[in-house]
Every structure is written in C-alpha cells, then in structure tokens.
C-alpha cells in the first residue's frame, strides 16, 4: 500500500535556476510499504505555469503513459525551451499492480540566457593601484528604480575573479562564485531570483569583487595566472506584472570604490580595516559621488556556461574545545578538528587596534603553531578595529586548512565564545553513512569524510593549507569512488570532468591538474624530465575513471556520451606513445608517496594504460558501440599480454616486486588465472614480511584491500585496516589525526615532522580505503548491469576485529542499508533495506542461512530480492 512519488529533481537538483541544458533530465523516487515494489509506467507533464499543471495540462510536454521502470535520467522531449523560461513539471507513477500514485508535488526549473547576444552588460572592474602587490577588493554599485508590480526579477551574474552579490543590503548567493574553471576557456554563470528583495521605488544592487583563482595566487604559480584584476558581469531582468521588461546591466554608469578589504587572497589571507567600511553602500540613497567610474573591459573570448558545480557554502560552525594563553601573550585555540574554512572573530577595543588570526594544522613540540608546511601560503587575517562596540568579522575571499587558531594582539581576555570555525566546501549532500563496533575505524571514517568535504572546494583539491590547493587528477581518480559513497558528487565531478576536457591537450593527453592553471600554456613543466607532464600514469587516467564512476554510481550515460571522443583520444594517445604497448619509463610521479617501495614507472604506467582501455571498452559497451567495445577489450587483452611478457616471470613475480605492482596487476585484469594465485601469494608475503604493514602510495592504496578481498585474503585486508604500527591508517589516528594525512610518515615518533616542503595533514588520497569499507566491509556495491543502483549487490565481508557494521547509501532510488553483527560464537546477522523500484542480489556469508526466520534452501547463499527490508542469519563457524 501507499505508492508515492517523492524528491523530484531536475538535472540532479531541486528546482534549479538558470540551466543551459536544452534537454534537462528528470529524477524522482518512489515510496511504498510493500515489498518488491516497482514502477510499471510513468507520465510526466511539463507546462509554463503551475495552473496548467493543476488542470493536468502539459502544454509543453506530455510524455503520455510510458511503460517503463525508469525514475532517473528521463530526458525532456517537449517543445523547445526558451531563454529565461520558467518551467513546471510533475510526474505520476504506476506500480506493477497497475495502481497509480497521486501526482508528485510540482517542481520547476528555469533556463538561463541561452545565447551570448542576450548578455547586455559590460565587464566592469577597478583600475589597479600602482605598486601594490596585493590589491584592495573593489566594490561596485548601481541604483535603479522599480515602478509597478514585479512578476519576476532575475539576476544573471559572473566574474573573472570572485563576487559577492548584494541587493538592497542583503547578500545573495553563495561563496567563491563563479568557481574555478580554466578562465581562458570558460567561466560559469549563476542565476538568482531576486523578486522578493526588490521594492517599489529606489533600489540598489552591487558586488564586492575578489581576485580568487583568476587574478589572485593560484597554487605555487604566483598570482595573475589568468588576468591582472577581477571583472564583474551582471544583468538583472525585471518582468513587470503589466508585461513591461527592464534590464539593469553592468556598464560605465556603475560606480566603484575600494573599501575595508585591503586585500583578500585565497593563498595569502586577508587584511580588513574596519575603519574603511562603506556603511550603507549596498542600499539605496548612499552617496557615491566620491566613487570612481569603473574600468570597462573590452570583452571576454571564453564561453559563458551555466554553473555545473554545486554551490560553495558554510555548512557548519565549530566551537573551539580549548584556549590557552602563551608566554608571548597570544592565545591558541584548539578547534578539535582539522577543518577547512575560516574563523569568525568577536572583538571590542580601541579604534585602530590590530588583531591577527593565524591558522595551522598542527602544533610544534613547544606548543607554537606549526607553520612550516604552508610554504608561501599565509593563513592569516589581520583585522583593524573601528572601535564601535562589539565587532564581528569574517574574511571574504580566502580560506584555510587548520585545527589551531592563534589570536595575536587581542585586546582583553578572549574566551571560547570569541571565535567560531566556519566550515566551507562545495555543498555536496551527504549520501553515505558508516559505523562499526570499532572506535578507531569510526575515526578513520570520520577523517575520510572531513578530508573530502574540506578538499572539495569547486574542484577536488589536493590539500587546503599550503600554496597548492589544485585539482590534481590522480588524487581525484583514486578517491572518486569513496567520494561518491560519502556525498552526492554527481554534479561536482561532472564539472571537474569539464575542467579536464577544457585542458585536454591537442595530443589527446589529459593533464595532471585541472584546471591546469596555465602550466601548460606557461610551459611551467620541465619537458626534459616530463615532470608535470600532461599525461602522468594514474593522473591523466582520471579522464576515463571519473566518467565511469559517475555511470556506475548514478547511471549517468550522458556524461559518457558527452566525453566519449575525449576518452578515445586519451587511450589512443597512450597507444601511440608506447612501444609494443609498453608505456615508457619516464619521470612519472609513480606510486606517489609509497613507503620504501618504488614501483617502476613503466610497470605502473602500462598497468594504468590497460585499465583505461578496459574501462573504455565497458563505456563503449554501455553506449551500445559494440565495435569499440570489442576493439578496446582486445586492446586491454593485448596490453595485458605485453605486460606479462615484459614484467611477469613464471613464478608470478612482477618486476619491481612492490605491493602496488601486484595489486594493480590483479585489479586491472593483467594476469592469467594461475598467475593470479601466485601473485596474491607474493602480495600477502610482502605484507607479512613487513610485519603486516602496507607500503602503497596514492596509486596502489585504493586497490590494496579490494585486491586482497577479491582473492580470498579478507583476513589480510582487515589486518591492514586495523594495523596500528607505522605505516598504517591507525598510526595517524593513534597520534590524534582528525583528517587523512598526505603521507604515511607526515609525523612519526622516530622522525617528528616530515620535510615541511610537502607535508599536508589534510590530503584525501590515502583515504581511498573508504571505498573498500562501503563495497566490501559493509558490502554495498553498484551492479554495473543496472547502474546507478537500480540494482545493488549486497555482499558483506565480516572479518578482523569488527563485530558490527551499520551502513547506508542514499542512491538515486532511495536508501540502501546493510547492517551486520558477528557474535563471538560465529552467529552472523544481516539486515538489508532495498528502496522501492530497486532490487539487489544479496550474498550471505556462512552456512545454515535463514531469511526472515525461515531456513533457506540447502546450498543457497544468494538471493535476488526486490524492495523491502530483510533479515538474514547464518553461522560463520
Ligand atoms: C600534490 C599531490 C599530487 C602530486 C603529484 C603534490 O604536490 O599535493 O596530491 O598528486 O603533487 O605528484
């Protein structure tokens, strides 16, 4: 009973604004109390008004009753969508018994400005101040009149740089818009409905501009990577109730001035002089006669495309755990969590007093802030008081990675209410949850999630603290699967894929960093060494791994279609640049930051080449390109042959002998059956010879536990998971880690801190073990034959010292759960939840299996089940 449509989405979003996708896709979920509930048909109506939908008229599109079980990626097929159109839709679903649901709630979306000609505004900025390295943030403003009732007022805006939009004193939108793209190629545009914020009569609109990635410091590349100073483009289209239309757009009639933000740079921090505040500048009636005319930029050759990435927001506020006064009279706070964002400060004091807020991830042995690993980054704000009672401050266009905060020059005695930590990241909705009986494993799970949210900021950055914070493609690909369990990264990675495409080389090579921030253009890599080459093994392969991951987890075929040619070019590039299908031994990053185990570059690069070919074959298959499927499957087989001839000896030893060579050979399908058995033995021996410890770096680590489990050594996998001696995940946790460290030896008892030139304490790559915890420990796996979790494979692998696991994953169909307990006497109990219109193949370990209290047929350990909740019991001993 109860057949309901819920959670209608358009292009993965709830009521999105400003799309430029002309055939947007619809998503909905179903709810039912019945087991085995599935959809037999649906009908979608799209109209230009909710009233029409109320009359069940879809004048733009009536799909008719479509016999189908699809509830995701149903593409619009109605009349052409218009620029600025607002569209409403609803859907009704029939279950397999033919019972119809009620119509869903009415959802809507709007289209943005679909052609360049419709952008009427000019790009405006403020002339740079001479001889000033870090420039003040420009303020821009304009007043306008509203005469009559407004039906709809929409702002379309973007910047080369960053902008914070204001309308009549109110901040509209999110942080760090328009996000990080290759500005030479494109900039993303944002759309805001400002109807509620306009009033009859005088109104004001304006923005504060930041340098951001466009003109501020990017990584270790200095500033002005794309341009010298920020520019802003805005157009507000007002539709009156009587049909009149007006536009307010950026042009030479706006005014600009500098204000209290003396500078604000992502990598260099901010100075804010509150004495320079422009009180009331964003409201009507402000006297801007002293402001300057803006600097109008001739134009912009890149593309203006609708934002794909999720907005960047403050999602949490942390209170500090403790504060203490240092001998120097400063105050050091412990936030209790290595976090990304900034500090909000409350202060009272005399006008002109300067308070410095300094941020660090760790403390030195003497208790001072450990700043050495920041390289040239400055994680500091300087706030200069205006002296008017309680002042509250937070910075605008910078962010930091930190656990500790030092207040220097604070007037009076601060307490735990003086500061708060604002947690900032791309707002990707949490979708996974995982808890076990083991507190240390739970801490590891938490560290992975914190590492992800902190580093997913417009692009998947490597780290949030030093002068880097770049979209390293290798880090992204090894972590993509973990990331997609933890959070809804459908659009986040779709955007990153576009970044990768934007910097794909004419040769077909994908770059190591995306956006590549001008590295290639500025020839900032050393061609002789190929350091920062555009095609490092395990980095460039992200161009194939990420779309495949999005297909598996979200069933997104469109991403495969859109980027298919680019993926083919990548694989063909690898083929062309190899000899006898063996990739060259050149200065790849290799199995980056492995520990006393150097994997030969050519082994690693050839293995990844094979993997890209294998995924491409599957992708071709998913798209129905059977010839290509065959071609790339054969290519994979040929590379595997070449790999074995070149690197594998008869006794199953692989050149290099590292854990990573075995792991990659096993997981990328490079071995024959007899060789697999030998390889797993060599792998287990290597682990044992190191005292049950791992040695893998970025590229091997994500596959290590899966390789062991897939080949019958779940015991060894659990041993590694809970190993507490160095090097291991638990070693960092034993020493207080609250995020994943960049390196196994970031800090050790024997050596203290690793070299400060590369020692981040918030790098998610080694956290790619999260994937194994979801897919193997909890056993919630996507079925590639019914991608996007239309069907799951539930196959928990109990083991080690773990007595219970409680996991869930919110898929596009709804929530899957897998919870198990294992008693000391071998009694195993598994509870599974399958959402409506989905199904699962459930593999229950052990013997004497029962389902919902009834003994299962002798010899049956796999169950094909539809939606509902089920309980299984078995005995593992
Ligand atoms: C980054 C990494 C990246 C690597 C490339 C480092 O500086 O922090 O995460 O993948 O360079 O080898």
Which protein residue's CA is at the shortest distance from atom 8 of ligand 1?
Answer: 462
Report the separation in Å between the CA atom of 134 and the middle of ligand 1, taken as the mean of its atom positions: 27
- Angle, nearest 10°, between helix axes 542-554 and 473-486? 10
Q: What angle do CA 430, 338, 596 make, to 5 degrees?
A: 100
Residue among 375, 377, 401, 472 whose CB has most ligand 1 atoms within 8 A, to mutate: 472
Query: Which class would CATH give 432-778?
Result: mainly alpha
Same fold flag, 119-309 and 791-875: no
- Prediction pTM value: 0.97
Give Cα separations from 790 to 37, 403, 439, 815 (angstroms): 13, 40, 33, 11
Distance CA(576)–CA(507), nearest Å, equals 10
870 lines ligand 1 (CB under 6 A): no
Give Cα separations from 397 to 164, 274, 557 (angstroms): 9, 16, 36
Give the contacts of 580 (CB within 8 A, at least 6 positions apart): 642, 646
Which protein residue's CA is at the shortest distance from atom 12 of ligand 1?
Answer: 589
Residue bearing tokens 């019958």: 712
Q: What confidence score (pLDDT) does residue 219 get?
A: 87
Which protein residue's CA is at the shortest distance from atom 1 of ligand 1?
Answer: 462
The answer to whether residues 342 and 394 touch, using CB atoms and an 8 Å cutoff, is yes
Report the separation in Å between the CA atom of 471 and the middle of ligand 1, taken as the mean of its atom positions: 9
Tokens of 198: 């306009």
Distance CA(131)–CA(428), nearest Å, equals 41
Q: What confidence score (pLDDT) does residue 516 get?
A: 84
Q: Report CA dihedral (666, 671, 677, 680) to the nearest 10 degrees.
A: -30
Residue among 534, 589, 744 whose CB has most ligand 1 atoms within 8 A, to mutate: 589
Peptide bond into 317 cis (omega under 30): no
467 lines ligand 1 (CB under 6 A): no
Which atom from ligand 1 is nearest to the alpha carbon of 462?
Answer: 9
Report the separation in Å between the CA atom of 209 and the middle of ligand 1, taken as the mean of its atom positions: 30
Which protein residue's CA is at the shortest distance from atom 2 of ligand 1?
Answer: 462
Residue among 534, 592, 746 whose CB has most ligand 1 atoms within 8 A, to mutate: 592
462 lines ligand 1 (CB under 6 A): yes
Q: What confidence score (pLDDT) does residue 519 get?
A: 67
Superfamily per CATH, domain 791-875 = Maltose phosphorylase, domain 3 (2.60.420.10)
Tokens of 713: 């050594």
**Cα separation of the two ends of the chain:** 40
84 lines ligand 1 (CB under 6 A): no
Q: Where are the domains of the chain?
A: 4-110, 119-309, 313-426, 432-778, 791-875
Report the separation in Å between the CA atom of 462 and the middle of ligand 1, taken as the mean of its atom positions: 7
463 lines ligand 1 (CB under 6 A): yes
* Ranges of the chain whose pLDDT falls below 50: 523, 525-531
Q: What confidence score (pLDDT) does residue 532 get?
A: 57
Report the separation in Å between the CA atom of 373 and the middle of ligand 1, taken as the mean of its atom positions: 14
The answer to whether residues 400 and 465 touch, using CB atoms and an 8 Å cutoff, is yes
The answer to whether residues 184 and 288 touch, using CB atoms and an 8 Å cutoff, is no
Report the separation in Å between the CA atom of 537 and the middle of ligand 1, taken as the mean of its atom positions: 13
Distance CA(126)–CA(295), nearest Å, equals 5
Distance CA(746)–CA(736), nearest Å, equals 12
**CB atoms inside a 10 Å sphere around CB 165:** 23
Report the separation in Å between the CA atom of 342 and the middle of ligand 1, taken as the mean of its atom positions: 24
The answer to whether residues 256 and 129 touch, using CB atoms and an 8 Å cutoff, is no
Tokens of 7: 């959670």
Q: Spell 477-497 as b/e; 16+ CB within 10 A means b.
A: bbbbbbbbbbbbbbbbbbbbb
Which protein residue's CA is at the shortest distance from atom 5 of ligand 1?
Answer: 589
472 lines ligand 1 (CB under 6 A): yes
764 lines ligand 1 (CB under 6 A): no
Residue bearing tokens 């390196």: 743
Which protein residue's CA is at the shortest distance from atom 3 of ligand 1?
Answer: 472
Report the separation in Å between the CA atom of 770 and the middle of ligand 1, taken as the mean of its atom positions: 20
Length of the chain as a residue count: 877
Report the separation in Å between the CA atom of 395 and the middle of ligand 1, taken as the mean of its atom positions: 28
Which protein residue's CA is at the shortest distance from atom 9 of ligand 1?
Answer: 462
Which atom from ligand 1 is nearest to the alpha carbon of 589?
Answer: 12
Could you give phi then psi for residue 329, rounded to 5 degrees?
85, 10
Which atom from ligand 1 is nearest to the alpha carbon of 474?
Answer: 10
Report the separation in Å between the CA atom of 159 and the middle of ligand 1, taken as the mean of its atom positions: 29
Active site residue ranges: 468, 742
- What architecture does CATH give domain 4-110? Sandwich (2.60)
Distance CA(418)–CA(227), nearest Å, equals 38
Q: What confidence score (pLDDT) does residue 530 get?
A: 44
- DSSP 3-state assignment of 163? strand
**CATH 2.40.50.100 matches 313-426:** no
- Cα dihedral sign for 603, 609, 611, 613? negative
Report the separation in Å between the CA atom of 344 and the middle of ligand 1, taken as the mean of its atom positions: 30
Which atom from ligand 1 is nearest to the alpha carbon of 758?
Answer: 7
Report the separation in Å between the CA atom of 448 and the middle of ligand 1, taken as the mean of its atom positions: 18
Distance CA(663)–CA(14), nearest Å, equals 41
Q: What confidence score (pLDDT) does residue 2 get?
A: 87
Distance CA(855)–CA(872), nearest Å, equals 9
699 lines ligand 1 (CB under 6 A): no
In 386-536, at which residue ranges do the beta strands (DSSP E only) sit? 391-393, 400-408, 419-426, 432-436, 456-457, 459-460
Residue among 374, 375, 475, 697 whose CB has most ligand 1 atoms within 8 A, to mutate: 475
Report the separation in Å between the CA atom of 263 and the middle of ligand 1, taken as the mean of its atom positions: 28
333 lines ligand 1 (CB under 6 A): no
629 lines ligand 1 (CB under 6 A): no
- The closest of 396, 415, 384, 383 to 341, measured between CA atoms, is 396
475 lines ligand 1 (CB under 6 A): yes
pLDDT (tens digit per residue) in 684-697: 999 999 999 999 99
Which atom from ligand 1 is nearest to the alpha carbon of 473?
Answer: 10
Q: What angle do CA 258, 262, 264 make, to 5 degrees?
A: 110
- DSSP 3-state assignment of 91? strand
Report the separation in Å between the CA atom of 472 and the middle of ligand 1, taken as the mean of its atom positions: 7
Report the separation in Å between the CA atom of 698 and the middle of ligand 1, taken as the mean of its atom positions: 9
CATH code, residues 119-309: 2.60.120.260
Q: Is 718 left (phi over 0), alpha (psi -120 to 50) or beta?
A: alpha
Which protein residue's CA is at the shortest distance from atom 11 of ligand 1?
Answer: 472
474 lines ligand 1 (CB under 6 A): yes
468 lines ligand 1 (CB under 6 A): yes
592 lines ligand 1 (CB under 6 A): yes
């Amino acid at each position: 009973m109860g057949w309901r449509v819920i959670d209608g989405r358009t292009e993965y979003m709830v009521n999105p604004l400003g799309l430029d996708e002309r055939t947007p896709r619809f998503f909905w979920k179903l709810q039912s109390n019945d087991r085995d509930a599935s959809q037999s048909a649906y009908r979608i109506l799209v109209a230009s008004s909710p009233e029409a939908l109320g009359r069940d008229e879809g004048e733009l599109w009536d799909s008719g009753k479509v016999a189908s079980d699809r509830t995701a990626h149903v593409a619009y097929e109605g009349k052409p969508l218009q620029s600025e159109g607002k569209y409403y839709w609803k859907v009704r679903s029939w279950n397999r018994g033919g019972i119809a649901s009620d119509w869903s709630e009415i959802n809507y979306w709007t289209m943005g400005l679909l052609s360049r000609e419709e952008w009427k505004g000019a790009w405006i900025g403020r002339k740079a101040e001479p001889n000033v390295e870090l420039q003040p943030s420009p303020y821009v403003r304009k007043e306008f009149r509203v005469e009559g009732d407004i039906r709809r007022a929409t702002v379309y805006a973007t910047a080369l740089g960053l902008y914070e939009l204001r309308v009549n004193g109110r901040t509209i939108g999110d942080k760090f818009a328009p996000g990080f793209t290759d500005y030479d190629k494109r900039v993303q545009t944002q759309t805001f409905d400002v109807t509620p914020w306009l009033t009859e009569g005088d109104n004001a609109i304006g923005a504060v501009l930041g340098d951001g990635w466009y003109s501020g410091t990017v990584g270790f590349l200095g500033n002005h990577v794309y341009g010298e100073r920020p520019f802003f483009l805005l157009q507000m289209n007002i539709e009156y109730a009587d049909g009149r239309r007006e536009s307010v757009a950026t042009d030479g009639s706006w005014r600009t001035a500098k204000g209290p933000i003396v500078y604000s740079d992502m990598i260099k921090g901010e100075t804010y002089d509150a004495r320079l505040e422009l009180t009331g500048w964003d409201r009507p009636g402000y006297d801007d006669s002293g402001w300057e005319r803006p600097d109008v930029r001739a134009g912009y050759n890149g593309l203006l495309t609708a934002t794909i990435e999720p907005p960047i927001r403050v999602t949490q506020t942390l209170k500090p755990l403790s504060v203490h006064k240092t001998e120097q009279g400063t105050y050091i706070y412990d936030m209790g969590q290595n976090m990304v964002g900034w500090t909000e400060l409350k202060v009272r004091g005399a006008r002109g007093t300067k308070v410095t807020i300094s941020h660090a991830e760790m403390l030195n042995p003497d208790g001072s802030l450990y700043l050495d690993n920041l390289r040239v980054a400055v994680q500091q704000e300087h706030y200069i008081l205006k002296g008017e009672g309680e002042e509250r401050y937070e910075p605008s266009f910078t962010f930091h990675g930190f656990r500790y905060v030092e207040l220097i020059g604070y007037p009076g005695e601060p307490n735990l209410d003086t500061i708060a930590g604002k947690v900032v990241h791309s707002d990707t909705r949490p979708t996974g949850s995982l808890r076990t009986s083991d507190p240390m494993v739970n801490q590891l799970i938490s560290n992975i999630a914190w590492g992800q949210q902190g580093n997913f900021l417009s692009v998947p950055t490597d780290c949030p603290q030093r002068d880097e914070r770049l979209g390293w493609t290798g880090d992204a690909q090894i972590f993509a699967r973990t990331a997609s369990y933890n959070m809804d990264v459908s659009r986040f990675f779709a955007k990153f894929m576009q970044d990768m495409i934007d910097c794909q080389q004419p040769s077909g090579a994908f770059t190591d960093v995306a956006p590549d921030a001008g590295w290639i253009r500025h020839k900032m890599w050393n061609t002789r060494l190929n350091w920062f080459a555009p095609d490092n093994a395990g980095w460039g392969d992200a161009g194939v791994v990420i779309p495949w991951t999005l297909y598996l987890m979200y069933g997104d075929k469109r991403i495969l279609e859109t980027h298919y040619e680019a993926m083919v070019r990548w694989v063909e590039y690898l083929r062309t640049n190899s000899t006898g299908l063996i990739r060259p031994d050149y200065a790849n990053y290799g199995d980056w930051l492995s520990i006393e185990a150097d994997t030969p570059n050519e082994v690693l690069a050839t293995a990844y080449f094979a993997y890209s070919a294998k995924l491409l074959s599957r992708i071709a298959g998913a798209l129905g390109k059977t010839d290509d499927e065959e071609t790339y499957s054969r290519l994979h087989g040929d590379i595997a042959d070449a790999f074995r001839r070149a690197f594998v000896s008869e006794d199953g030893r692989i050149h290099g002998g590292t854990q990573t060579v075995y792991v990659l050979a096993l997981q990328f399908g490079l071995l024959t059956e007899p060789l697999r058995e030998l390889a797993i033995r060599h792998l287990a021996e290597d682990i044992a010879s190191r005292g049950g410890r791992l040695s893998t770096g970025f590229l091997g680590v994500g596959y290590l536990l899966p390789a062991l489990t897939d080949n019958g050594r779940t015991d060894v996998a659990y041993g590694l998971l809970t190993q507490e001696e160095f090097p291991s995940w638990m070693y960092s946790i034993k020493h207080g880690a609250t995020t994943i460290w960049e390196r196994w030896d970031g800090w050790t008892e024997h050596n203290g801190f690793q070299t400060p030139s590369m020692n981040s304490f918030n790098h998610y790559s080694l956290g790619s073990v999260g994937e194994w915890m979801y897919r193997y420990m909890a056993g919630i796996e996507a079925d590639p034959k019914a991608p996007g979790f239309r069907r799951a494979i539930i196959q928990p692998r109990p083991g080690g010292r773990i007595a219970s696991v409680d996991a869930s994953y919110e898929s596009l169909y709804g929530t899957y759960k897998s919870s198990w307990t294992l008693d000391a006497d071998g009694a195993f109990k598994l509870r599974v939840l399958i959402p409506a219109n989905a199904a699962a193949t459930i593999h229950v370990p052990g013997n004497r299996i029962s389902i919902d209290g009834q003994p299962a047929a002798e010899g049956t350990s796999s169950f094909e089940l539809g939606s509902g909740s089920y309980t299984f019991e078995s005995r593992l001993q």
